[in-house]
Amino acid sequence: MANFSAADVKKLRDMTGAGMMACKKALNEADGDFDQAVEALRIKGAKDVGKRAERTAAQGTVVLKQESDSKATLVELNCETDFVAKNDQFITLANEVADFVSAQSSVDLDTVMAAEIESGKSLQAYIEGKSAVIGEKLQLSNIAKFEGAYIATYLHKSDPDLPPTMGVLVELDKADEQIGKDLAQQIAAMAPQYVSKDDVPDEVVERERGIAEQTTREEGKPEQAIPKIVEGRLNGYFKEVTLLGQPSVKENKKTVQNVVDEAGVNVKRFARFKVGQA
């Protein structure tokens, strides 16, 4: 039996993010040698990549890289457990990935994953290599890169012991720090899907109109009243899913549209990532 302590197991677990029993086995087989134990975990992890592919990576972190008030990058990197999510190695990887994404010209996830992060190694392969050491499925799920007149940002921690699990970028047509902050927090709290109703795809509008009409008919409403009721319900849908249609969280007697109009700014676009949400 190799000579190592529980503290050694914890150190290896903290270093790699691998499970406790896997760390004990690796240290035992390596006769207590840390470098050999890490290598053993890497080899085993590489063999298990295929097995991990079907597992769910619903934990993780959102990382923000803001180069200036007019340029920012947001990435979501996922893992399987909150233990790994707060592991230093995982957090370092998430920041490396965010730096790499920020430096790319493309905003297409597949293109970025195929880009070379180090000699002969794509970002996909690089993440898989880290997955082999940590022993969990790691997945880059979302990326966003905004560059414009003014980019407001927001990061949120759902648990003080974990890294941020939600992030927001919102682009305005001119600088307004307070409005930008308020909008970013509005987006984080209320999860709109679109900036305005003009941005809602036609097929989505038609689907919602069809649902509203079917619901109204099943309620037995008079035929002549159905069109007006349907439009009312459709407008209610727009108020829920569009940022500008929502009541302002900060000033609930106003819509977000009222707030930005009074401030004289226009919202160009936004991105909202929350760990574990599609």
Domain ranges of the chain: 6-47, 59-186, 197-263
Closest of 191, 188, 189, 94 to residue 141, by C-alpha: 94
pLDDT value of position 198: 94
* CA distances from residue 71 to 68, 83, 92 in whole angstroms, order as listed: 5, 32, 22
Q: What CATH topology corresponds to 197-263?
A: GTP Cyclohydrolase I; Chain A, domain 1 (1.10.286)
DSSP reduced 3-state for 28: helix
Strands of 139-147's sheet, edge to edge?
A: 59-68, 71-79, 139-147
> Would you say residue 113 has pLDDT above 70?
yes
Distance CA 117, CA 64 (A): 19
- Which CATH superfamily hosts domain 59-186? Elongation factor Ts, dimerisation domain (3.30.479.20)
Q: 36 Cβ partners below 8 Å, 6+ apart?
A: 29, 30
pLDDT value of position 42: 63
> Would you say residue 271 has pLDDT above 90?
yes
DSSP reduced 3-state for 162: coil
Distance CA 127, CA 121 (A): 10
Torsion, Cα 85 91 97 100, to 10 degrees, reads 160
Distance CA 184, CA 269 (A): 11
Q: What CATH topology corresponds to 6-47?
A: Helicase, Ruva Protein; domain 3 (1.10.8)
> Would you say residue 43 has pLDDT above 60?
yes
In this prediction the pTM is: 0.78
Q: Alpha helix locations (H) across 166-249?
A: 177-190, 202-218, 226-241
Distance CA 267, CA 248 (A): 14
> Would you say residue 99 has pLDDT above 90?
yes
**b/e per residue 100-134 (b: at least 16 CB within 10 A):** bbbebeeeebeebbeeebeeeeebeebbbbbbbbb
Residues 117/100, Cβ–Cβ less than 8 Å: yes
Mean pLDDT over residues 149-160, rounded? 95
